[in-house]
Amino acid sequence: MPELRDALDALLQEVPPARLTESVRRLIEDYRSGRPADEPLIRNMVDATAYAAYRMPATHAAVSAALAQLPPIAPRSHVDLGGGTGAAAWAVRGAYGPVPATVLDQVPETLKLGARIAKDLDFTWQEWRLGDPVPGADLVTASYVLTELDEEAQRALVAQAAAAATTAVVLIEPGTPPGYRRMLAARDQLIGAGWHVAAPCPHQLACGMRGGDWCHFAARVNRSALHRRLKDASLGYEDEKYSFVAALKAPAPSPGRIVRHPVFRKGLVTLQVCRPDTSVGPVLVSKREGPRYKAARDAEWGDAWI
């Protein structure tokens, strides 16, 4: 979203690059460790700025891509738990228009920074710790938060999200095997609380991924010059891998889902599809199938496939 990118780039000019780089290095190490955090990983304004610079474009892209897999909804309010600098609020706005959003987080610096990035938008920023009351909203999200919590706290957050939402709960995590396992546990919990899984799964039964495979997707993120410098990266883009679960109060038809990059060979497309009968396997579409072949050729990882 160019608006977000411009707002971020303007803000980043204010912090000396050396301090940002140092903070980015520490945050990358802390997040890679995968340990639940005993204390907030973002400790001050420089950390918050570093987070916004190197992670927010990617978490924003992941949330946007996850929302694109949902059946149509029209939320009129949004609450984001552990919302940090507001990536999910921006993504929800991109998907559904100017939905009033409340971003809740334990670190005041991330909220202050988020408010500056989104200065012209209708977002509310509120200090909040897991367990504090959550205002009700049509849509409740939590992106890249469960990863910082132990199992008991993860369950508590999912329960709070489910209790506060009236229409949809969307949870997003890194697209790693542990991130996927956290999504499976959250999915079970949401189904147990009477919610209906709307994406990515085309069914409410146990996940059919086998053989050490895990359900995840990828969102393309274009890197700005500063972003590249901070991450010591040469490519002009990165692919952010994410796992997610979206649940709706009302059941909605959910189609089969393409769960890998399609493979193209001369006159043949192979799609790896998760199907409503819970099986996950290849679907071969040949050139002889005309419009179906054209649809398969245009299909992407994460798209629906009937």
Ligand X SMILES: C[S@@+](CC[C@H](N)C(=O)[O-])C[C@H]1O[C@@H](n2cnc3c(N)ncnc32)[C@H](O)[C@@H]1O
Q: Residue 206 pairs with which residues in a beta bridge?
A: none
| Nearest approach, Cβ of residue 164 and ligand X (Å) | 14
CA distance 139 to 164: 9
Which C-beta is closer to ligand X: that of 134 or that of 199?
134
From the CB of 74, what's the least distance to ligand X, in Å? 23
Contacts to ligand X by CB under 6 A: 40, 42, 55-56, 59, 82-84, 87-88, 105-107, 110, 128-130, 143-145, 148-149
User: Which position has the token pair 């709307």?
Assistant: 198
Nearer residue to ligand X within complex by CB, 129 or 288 = 129
3-class DSSP state of 292: helix
Nearer CB in complex with ligand X: 107/273: 107
Q: Report the residue number, 144 or 305, with the smaller CB distance to ligand X.
A: 144
Which residue, 105 or 138, has its beta carbon nearer to ligand X?
105
Q: Which amino acid is at 302?
A: G
b/e burial code for range 115-129 (CB count within 10 A of at least 16 → b) = bebbeebebebeebe
Best CA proximity match to 297, nearest among 281, 280, 279, 284? 284
Q: What are phi and psi of 69, to 5 degrees?
A: -85, -10
Name the H helices within 193-289.
Answer: 225-230
Residue 83 or 256 having the CB closest to ligand X = 83
Dihedral pair phi/psi, residue 196, rounded to 5°: -115, 125
110 vs 254 by CB, closer to ligand X: 110
Residue 203 Cβ vs ligand X, minimum distance, rounded to whole Å: 27
- Looking at residue 58, its amino acid is A
Least gap, CB of 41 to ligand X (angstroms)? 7
Q: Is the bond into 200 cis (omega within 30 degrees of 0)?
A: yes
Minimum distance of ligand X from residue 107's CB (angstroms): 4
Query: Rounded to whole angstroms, how far apart are CA atoms 42 and 297?
Result: 43
In degrees rounded to 5, what are phi and psi of residue 268?
A: -145, 130
- Nearest distance, CB of residue 15 and ligand X, angstroms: 18
Pick 145 or 198: Cβ nearer ligand X:
145
Output the smallest distance, CB 277 to ligand X, in A.
Answer: 33
Q: How far is the CB of 195 from ligand X (least distance, A)?
A: 21
Give the DSSP letter string of 105-150.
ES-HHHHHHHHHHTTTS-EEEEE--BTB----EEEEEEES-GGGS-
Q: Is 265 helix (H, G, I), strand (E, B) or coil?
A: strand
Q: CA-CA distance, 171 to 169, in Å (whole number)?
A: 7
